[in-house]
Amino acid sequence: LYALKLQHPGAVHFNRGNHECEMTNYQYGFAGEVEVKYEKKLMELFSETFRHLPLAHVLENQVFVSHAGLPGPEERLWEEWYATAPDEAAGYLIRKQQVSLNDIAAVDRAVEPNPDEHPLVIDFLWSDPKGANGYGPSTRVPGVYTFGPDIAANFLQANGLKYMIRSHETKSAGHQETVKGVYT
């Protein structure tokens, strides 16, 4: 894939996803496979290159492409009751200042994701859309949030975009409009 990117830099686009993180690579076996077939230092090289992959792209000035989701709430509140009452949590989890494409471009992406230290990185790698408005707690990882159709619409409108494409979840039909304007 890297060779294709070098050969066709304007036509091949990579985004970093949650599987381009050390923790996930060790948890799901990619690191072990690389270390058995090759050597440990090659896994270190993979990890370093993965950390430098873009978190998102904009295609044709219209389409936002991210592996998972959108910026989460400004205050990273996490209460135990969120899991049992996610719809009520949406009232507490808000973003007043919209994140711009320039803000995203300025994020230090060459890090391992940590919701406390690098919240935008974790959002682009792990968050998912949900049917209800607002933000909600994710069941995937503590400190990760879901986003509703209002969050997606506000982000797209603020950045002059038409829709979003994401690849974090598989869909039986191959794709699905998970919330209005967001295609998985």
Per-residue confidence (pLDDT) for residue 78, from 0 to 100: 76
* pLDDT value of position 132: 87
Q: For the whole model, what pTM was predicted?
A: 0.90
pLDDT of residue 44: 93
* Measured distance between the N- and C-terminal CA atoms of the chain, rounded to whole angstroms: 22
Counting as low any pLDDT under 70, the low residues of the chain are: 86-87, 90-91
* Single-letter code of the amino acid located at 73: P
The whole-number pLDDT of residue 129 equals 94
19 catalytic, yes or no?
A: yes
Task: Please report, for residues 34, 35, 181, the alpha-carbon distance to residue 26 in angstroms, rounded to integers and kept in the order given.
Answer: 10, 10, 34
Q: Look up residue 112 and give its DSSP letter.
A: -
Listed residue (118, 123, 139, 129) closest to 181, CA to CA: 129
Q: Which residue in 8, 13, 19, 175 is the catalytic one? A: 19
The per-residue pLDDT for 93 is 81
Count of CB atoms within 10 A of residue 57's CB?
13
Amino acid letter, residue 32? G
Amino acid at residue number 16: R
The closest of 150, 144, 154, 152 to 77, measured between CA atoms, is: 144
Radius of gyration of the chain (CA): 17
